[in-house]
Amino acid sequence: MAAAAARTLRIGLIPGDGIGREVIPAGRQILEALQSSTNLKFSFVDLEAGFETFKKTGTALPDKTVDVLKGECDGALFGAVSSPSTKVEGYSSPIVALRKKLDLYANVRPVKSVKGGAIPVDLVIVRENTEDLYVKEERTFTAPDGTKVAEAIKRISARASSRIGKIAFELALKRASLRGAGAASPLVTITHKSNVLSQTDGLFRETVRAVYESNPGYSGIRCEEQIVDSMVYKLFREPAYFDVVVAPNLYGDILSDGAAALVGSLGLVPSANVGDNFAIGEPCHGSAPDIMGQGIANPIATIRSVGLMLEFMGETDAAAKIYEAVDGNLVEGKYLSPDLGGKAGTKEVVDDILRRL
């Protein structure tokens, strides 16, 4: 029987700012290495976005980047973006805009400790990616008493909440199937603050619960709720309790960055921005200007994000090879970057993982 034809995938590479320009090339190396052990071939296109792009061109997300992603690419990797903490006229986050333009409505962030880690953690935070306070509808005005007031719109829709709920429950089923017979039942924890925000968070809570209750296929999933402040407390006290956590945009952002502390570093935590037909892998760390150019950035969050991107493109076997190689690097501990207490540079970590692939 003739061998199946290789699948060729075109990947957009968007380094962004800071250490994004050091870790995205590592992601490309991993994909290139996979070509020798899988039935996959990759081609690449370099694209621009970020604060440096804004300073050069006046736009943080060029139309060309969006057009190429939509018209030519099967998936993409996004490095990091430097978002100034003070207002810069005309600038807004390109990754937030990209999620909206490509309708990447779910941000999926696994947080997992490796064998032998001090704290057993194996959970996924599923964050709604298109609305909440991130709609960026803000205004500043002067109150009748002459004081300045700033306000922001928090938008929650039934459509977005339903979509993110479905992703969360489907992920819970997938994770349960990978754990196999005899494992604990899958658990989805809905996080909200509907005791205070009864209309917005209330709608999120009600809609996600309705997704669960209306689908007989989810009957084997346990579904619980946590108010976001108690969720933070319990996440740090009992991380092993959680399986899949689903949350509106802001809470999901905060929880996923906080959860990274449980496994030692943001440099380990990947994410995927996911829509119905496209996925962008994105490490959870920022642009880290304090270590930019020193060759010591941890590439593992990016490498794991490559795996996540491939998972959502249906290439689960290739993704598993990446996860196994990364876990081997971390368990052995010979080549660890400084954020993990080691002395290895970016290149040494990448080279070790490539050897394991």
Q: What's the whole-number mean pLDDT along residues 62-91?
A: 91
What's at 112, amino acid-wise? K
Q: Does 270 map to a domain? A: no
**For 191-248, how does the pLDDT look when each residue is reduced to its tens digit (9 = 90+)?**
999 999 999 999 999 999 999 999 999 999 999 999 999 999 999 999 999 999 999 9
Same domain, 42 and 178: no
CB atoms near residue 114 (< 10 Å): 17
Structural domain ending residue among the three candidates 264, 288, 303: 264
pLDDT of residue 86: 78
Same domain, 122 and 256: yes
Instruction: Answer whether residue 135 shows pLDDT above 90.
Output: no
Structural domain ending residue among the three candidates 264, 288, 307: 264
Same domain, 71 and 192: no
Residue 278 burial by CB count (10 A; 0-12/13-18/19+): exposed, middle or buried? buried
End-to-end CA distance of the chain: 27
Q: Does 269 map to a domain? A: no
Instruction: Answer whether residue 161 shows pLDDT above 60.
Output: yes
Q: Lowest mean pLDDT: which of 19-33, 116-130, 202-216, 232-246?
A: 116-130
Domain count, the chain: 2
pLDDT of residue 4: 61
Token pair 């669960």 is found at 212
Same domain, 242 and 282: no
SS3 label, residue 143: coil
**For 255-292, how does the pLDDT look when each residue is reduced to its tens digit (9 = 90+)?**
988 898 888 888 899 999 999 989 999 998 889 999 99
Instruction: Answer whether residue 3 shows pLDDT above 60.
Output: no
Structural domain ending residue among the three candidates 216, 243, 264: 264
Same domain, 165 and 252: yes
Q: What's the whole-number mean pLDDT along residues 98-127?
A: 88
Q: Work out the mean pLDDT of the chain and round it to a whole number.
A: 93
Residue 89: CATH number of its domain: 3.40.718.10
CB 207 within 8 A of CB 225: no
**For 92-101, how does the pLDDT look when each residue is reduced to its tens digit (9 = 90+)?**
889 989 998 9
Q: Does 47 map to a domain? A: yes
Same domain, 200 and 318: no
In angstroms, the CA 143 to CA 296 distance is 49
Structure confidence at residue 114 as a pLDDT band (50, 70, 90):
confident
pTM of the model: 0.90
Phi, psi of 257 (to 5 degrees): -70, -40
SS3 label, residue 26: helix
Q: What's the whole-number mean pLDDT along residues 301-319?
A: 95
Structure confidence at residue 90 as a pLDDT band (50, 70, 90):
confident
Token pair 């290895």 is found at 344
CB 153 within 8 A of CB 249: no
Q: What's the whole-number mean pLDDT along residues 338-343?
A: 92
Phi, psi of 255 (to 5 degrees): -60, -40
Same domain, 289 and 177: no
Same domain, 132 and 149: yes
Same domain, 233 and 146: yes
- Any residues with CB less than 8 A from the CB of 214 and at least 6 apart, and which? none
User: Domain span at residue 116?
Assistant: 110-264
Same domain, 260 and 344: no
What's at 202, amino acid-wise? G
Same domain, 187 and 48: no
CB atoms near residue 198 (< 10 Å): 11
